[in-house]
Amino acid sequence: MSYNPNFIPGHTIQLPVLGDHLKSSAFKNGTPIHHTRYSLTFNEDRGFAIYTAHNIDGSSIIPTGRIPRRDAFRHDPHIESNLQVDNRRGYSKNPWDRGHLVRRRSLHWRDVDEARKADSETFYWTNITPQHSNLHHTAWSSIEEWVLNLADKNGKQACIFTGPFLYYNDPVHKNHPDEPPIKIPAGFWKIIAIKHNNELRSAGFIVWQRDFDKSHPVEFDPVLEQVRITTIEFITGLSFGELRDADPLRYGEGAGVTRSLSSTLGIRPGKTTIISKPSDIVLK
């Protein structure tokens, strides 16, 4: 089974709805692609997922190490291979990490055989994006660990949505002379839904690649990285339905931090930036 909208008892959490401008660049007009325990929609112009969606059963987490990691990166059989950013085009002989959107460890629950199959399918290129190594190994992993630990501790069922921010003027990277260039996502977002005290609760988080272009980036802190879900909707063009009403920050509870998009990215309209290594993500 792929993403299950009825995974949290008593609630139906549908996949995000794409705005018209997203549909125009989406594979098959945004029709979801379904894999074992997760689903995604794909931006065929950029070669990356628009969003991914998966579930976590925190009451049945499989012990660490039971399913060993096998780096079998490969093309997604549901989408033409030439549309996907693969190892040669995006990651070979350069410092960019192959970052999972759906984390393999997040699919390790309940049946071991199904979890093993789901783990293997997270290595499809459609689930991979270029990530700054400092981001990949610090904040991004910390958010997912925080989610997984929360679900595990409370024995909850969770729905997780993740995606990159994709802009027309993202910095450009060309891996090989005979390959078309790719654009590096400026950052990533994640939305979590979980049942707490018999009520649906949701939380949205944003991380920007340039914030981690330093030898000792600031450690992940949910208070600093959390934003309103409506902020993610506004930036991405996605709609998350009832999760807006389940977000305490929408009603002024807690301390979410939002940032000016232009100042965060440091991008001027029409400016093209060429990058060859992660440190170049800091735009001039």
Mean pLDDT by 10 residues, the chain (284 residues): 94 96 94 98 97 94 93 97 92 84 94 98 97 74 72 81 92 82 92 85 88 72 82 96 90 42 33 41 31
In a domain, 208, yes or no: yes
What span, in angstroms and rounded, lies between the C-alpha atoms of 173 and 276? 6
Give residue 41's identity as a one-letter amino acid code. Answer: T
How many domains does one find in the chain?
A: 1
Q: Residue 24 has what pLDDT?
A: 93
- What DSSP character marks residue 60? S
CATH number at residue 91: 3.40.570.10
The torsion angle over the Cα atoms of residues 132, 133, 136 and 142, rounded to 10 degrees, is -120
Q: Residue 55 has what pLDDT?
A: 96
pTM of the model: 0.86
- 25 CB burial (10 A radius; 0-12, 13-18, 19+): middle
- The answer for 189, left when phi > 0, alpha when psi is -120 to 50, beta otherwise, is beta
DSSP-derived secondary structure for 162-202: EEEE--TTPPEE--STTS--EE--SEEEEEEEEEETTEEEE
Q: Residue 270 has what pLDDT?
A: 37
What span, in angstroms and rounded, lies between the C-alpha atoms of 126 and 145? 22
Q: Residue 137 has what pLDDT?
A: 67
In a domain, 70, yes or no: yes
Quote the tokens at residue 92: 């070979």
In a domain, 1, yes or no: no
Q: Residue 152 has what pLDDT?
A: 65
Identify the helix (H) or strand (E) that includes residue 142. helix 139-154
Q: Residue 130 has what pLDDT?
A: 93
Residue 41 belongs to what domain range?
A: 17-281
Within 8 A by CB and 6+ apart from 265, the residues are 167, 186, 208, 210, 283
Q: Residue 251 has what pLDDT?
A: 66
In a domain, 6, yes or no: no
Q: Residue 261 has what pLDDT?
A: 30
In a domain, 11, yes or no: no
In a domain, 3, yes or no: no
